[in-house]
Amino acid sequence: MKLKNIICTVMICALLFSCIGCIDTGTSPDSELNANSTGSEIGNKSSSPINVESETVDKSSLMYAYSSDDYDIATANNAFSFDMYTNLTTDDNIVFSPYSIFTAMAICYDGAETTTQEEIAYVFYYPLSKSVLEKNSKEMMNTINSDDDNYDLKTANALWVRENYPLNERYADNSKIYYGGKVTNLDFRNEPEKSRDIINKWVATQTNEKIKDLIPDELIDPDTAMIITNAVYFKGKWLNEFDVEETRKELFYNSSSNKVGNAVDMMYTKQYFSYGESKNAKIVEIPYKGNDLCMYVILPEENNIEDFESKFKLSDYNKLKSSMESGNEVKIWLPKFSFDTKVELPATLKSMGITEAFTDDANFSGIYDIRKVPEDYALWLDDVVHQAFIDVGEKGTEATAATAIEAVDCCEPLPGQVVEFKADHPFMFFIEDRRTGCILFMGKVKDPEY
């Protein structure tokens, strides 16, 4: 009889905290989001000019990259971001950290083989060469964790393994070397609640106490073999803060009506910003102090955010960014907002193409020592939990978490002309690391006071 063992992958994002976890919870698929699979439009490296002529890049160009120079991890992360957004989107506000999910699953992937590896690589745009992913992941983490007095940005990983589990030494070493994932043994079988408390305290510490109960009650049971956790935290001040005295109660119109709105706290400023537009949307870049990170706010021309987001791909996001110019004064009205999102992802990931990994046919033989387990031993993913948080105000942001309508007929504002950007209806937002081009957090605001 096959032993039931579960890999639990947990991800957290603070700034937009993002949490992911694959854990044996016995969660019913009915409780998960109903998601549909989707393809993704892949853009070019952010470090080079955006190719607005091409809408897609073949996944194979990433999957079959056999050197670090040939693999663009930011492009992979961003392509996955839009795929996941399409599958997660609901009628409510949403925030998540694609980077957190991408990184936690990369640690699982390091132990995957055969079909299991191929399915995960296809969905996450990983290279089939694990060494390429390891090296690029380490470089990305080092950039994110580089100290800067202007803002707080950090990411961390940890592996929590059942006592006496025959962990493959090479897998453990790689997790530590390339992902900083220290291995801690816990008594899942005899002390499940104590184990849960230890993991949740680690998560809370890494997320500045914004996520305290990532691992829910009764998630850990005797069959739990491993829980992988990732945390991302960001807190930064705007390069030019909004004046608190300028914040007023103004109407915010929801997608269902152009005439009826709710009064919300609307911030206001007039400054020089990078701004662009197409016939369907406007984009403004709001930088954080230090200029390493920024928030892109994308405001559809129409109030129907559902129609807009269903067509907005990564290629559109890149094209809209390429339309931006910095020589214009922009009046910005932006609502204050603060909310979190928590989701379980197995059904979503299955619909996107990862199926074998959630069955006892999964091949994660790189994780354990095959010499110390029965011949019919099986290890598979059982649950993936993701949680994210964001708080945007006059001073800045704290958090843990794009087709393209081509701007062919767009009339760019003349130099020196004052343009207006009034986010008084649903919009999308992205928090991006400008150094790498990696989308750290992504979401939409449908109701600022939800």
Q: Are residues 411 and 266 in the same domain?
A: yes
Q: Per the structure, how many domains does the chain have?
A: 2
Decide: 449 and 249 in contact? Cβ < 8 Å.
no
Residue 243: CB atoms within 10 A of its CB come to: 11
> How large is the angle between the packed helices 169-179 and 130-144, nearest 10 degrees?
40
Q: How many CA atoms lie within 13 A of 192 on its CB side?
A: 15
> Residue 277 phi/psi, 5° resolution?
-160, 160
Decide: 239 and 150 in contact? Cβ < 8 Å.
no
Residue that is last in its domain, among 390, 415, 432: 390
**Domain residues for 244?**
238-336+403-445
Q: Are residues 87 and 27 in the same domain?
A: yes
* 182, part of any domain: yes
Exposed / middle / buried, residue 96 (Cβ in 10 Å: 0-12, 13-18, 19+): buried
Mean pLDDT of successive 10-residue stretches along the chain, which has 450 residues:
42 36 34 34 34 53 91 94 89 90 94 95 95 97 92 93 90 96 90 92 92 84 88 93 94 69 89 90 94 94 88 91 87 92 89 92 91 86 89 86 19 53 81 88 80
DSSP 183-198: EEEE-TTT-HHHHHHH
CA distance 134 to 137: 5
Q: Are residues 230 and 246 in the same domain?
A: no
Q: Are residues 332 and 351 in the same domain?
A: no
Task: State residue 25's pLDDT score.
Answer: 33
- Residue 149 makes CB contacts below 8 A (sequence gap 6+) with 290
* 355, part of any domain: yes
CA distance 233 to 411: 38
Q: Are residues 221 and 322 in the same domain?
A: no
Q: Are residues 285 and 222 in the same domain?
A: no
- Residue 303 sits in a domain whose CATH number is 2.30.39.10
Tokens 């939990």 — which residue?
385
> What spatial distance separates the first Cα and last Cα of the chain, rounded to whole Å?
49
Beta-strand runs (E) in 246-292: 248-253, 261-277, 281-287
CA distance 86 to 402: 10
Q: Are residues 15 and 56 in the same domain?
A: yes
* 398, part of any domain: no
Torsion of CA 435, 283, 124, 17, to 10 degrees: 70
Pairing of strands 427-433, 438-445: antiparallel
Q: Are residues 381 and 414 in the same domain?
A: no
> Residue 134 phi/psi, 5° resolution?
-60, -50
Q: Are residues 58 and 134 in the same domain?
A: yes
Decide: 444 and 401 in contact? Cβ < 8 Å.
no
- DSSP code of 52? T
Q: Are residues 324 and 231 in the same domain?
A: no
With helix as H, strand as E and coil as C, how does 292-344 read?
Answer: CEEEEEEEECCCCHHHHHHHCCHHHHHHHHHCCEEEEEEEEEEECEEEEEEEE
Q: Are residues 201 and 306 in the same domain?
A: no
Exposed / middle / buried, residue 407 (Cβ in 10 Å: 0-12, 13-18, 19+): buried
Task: State residue 82's pLDDT score.
Answer: 92
* 450, part of any domain: no
Q: Are residues 32 and 120 in the same domain?
A: yes
DSSP 122-187: HHHT--S-HHHHHHHHHHHHHHHTS--TTEEEEEEEEEEEETT--B-HHHHHHHHHHH--EEEEE-
* 207, part of any domain: yes
Decide: 101 and 348 in contact? Cβ < 8 Å.
no
Beta-strand runs (E) in 377-437: 380-392, 396-399, 419-422, 427-433
* 209, part of any domain: yes
- Residue 126 sits in a domain whose CATH number is 3.30.497.10
